[in-house]
Amino acid sequence: MTDNLPHEEYQYINLIKKIIAEGYWETGRNGRTKSIFGYSMRFSLQNGKLPLLTTKKTAWKTCLKELLWFIRGETDNKLLQEQGVHIWDGNATKDFMASRGLDHYPAGVLGPLYGYQWRNFNASYDSATGKPSEHASGIDQLQQIITALKDPVQRTSRRLIMTAWNPCQLDEMALPPCHILCQFNVHDGNKLSCALFQRSQDVCLGESFNIASYSFLTHLLAKHCGLEAYEFIHFMGNCHIYEEHLEPIKLILERTPFEFPTLDISALKDNINAYEASDFIVTNYKSHDVIKMPMIA
């Protein structure tokens, strides 16, 4: 845990400071970044705590709707757009899809990414429907984890791992996954934690979403499986700030974090696919204003 810090969010603030002070300039596929390699943070989820970053406003409803889209194994961006969620729009354009050799996909179809791998790992992908091909067989990693977490004998396994990184299908995806592997762990009989490894971290725009998303997921699995959410641990590989974000993000260094909000999930449902955004009640989220920065696709 992070008892030596006055607030857990200072881990994020210190990451920004470290990149600004010690980072290396690199030019990659989508622009110039200042980066470091290797960083980790820990956030308590006890007593319903939800680590939504407060030094800039986190669009948590957008994040939650994307998570539920992942959980259902969906890959069609139009389903997000219908809910007012536009975070995948930049990676769904015809030009971007053409850059990936996927311009033959129907508009909005993104390929077998994140949620598809969670629910249909390595099942052959029908780009016309955004679903597994007929008679395709894949591995439902998320359901395997749910089954284990509900079983007092299995829930202490050290093999509760879910991966979105599938080398066999990377070239079919609009974007290879950035948050690629998570591991769940239960201790003291009922305390559920999640550790995430992320290969590539957009510190200014992506970080707040990734923390929120996997914290929501851990709370949801705890509720669904009769456990208590305990901790979220975030391990990161390449942590970078895009050149266009470097000046705007410095505003965070002048801000003091607010207390994190709490989360209550109002209903227990039989099927993990049945949860809706309205079931998640976030209380006392107070934040500083949004910092406007362009999304770099």
d(CA 213, CA 232): 11
Rg (CA), the chain: 19
Strands of 179-187's sheet in order across:
24-28, 31-44, 228-242, 191-202, 179-187, 161-163
d(CA 295, CA 297): 6
- Give me the amino acid identity at 163: T
What residues contact residue 278 under an 8 Å CB cut-off, 6+ apart? none
Does residue 178 have an active-site annotation? Answer: yes
Q: Give the tokens for residue 272.
A: 């993990």
Beta bridge partners of 27: 32
Other C-beta atoms closer than 10 Å to the C-beta of 266 total 11
Q: Give the tokens for residue 277.
A: 């955004």
**Active-site residue among 178, 182, 194, 239?**
178
Residue appearing with tokens 């690199």: 26
Residue appearing with tokens 């990414």: 113
3-state SS, residue 168: coil
The helix or strand, by DSSP H or E, that contains position 209, with its residue range, turns out to be: helix 206-225
- Catalytic residue numbers read 178
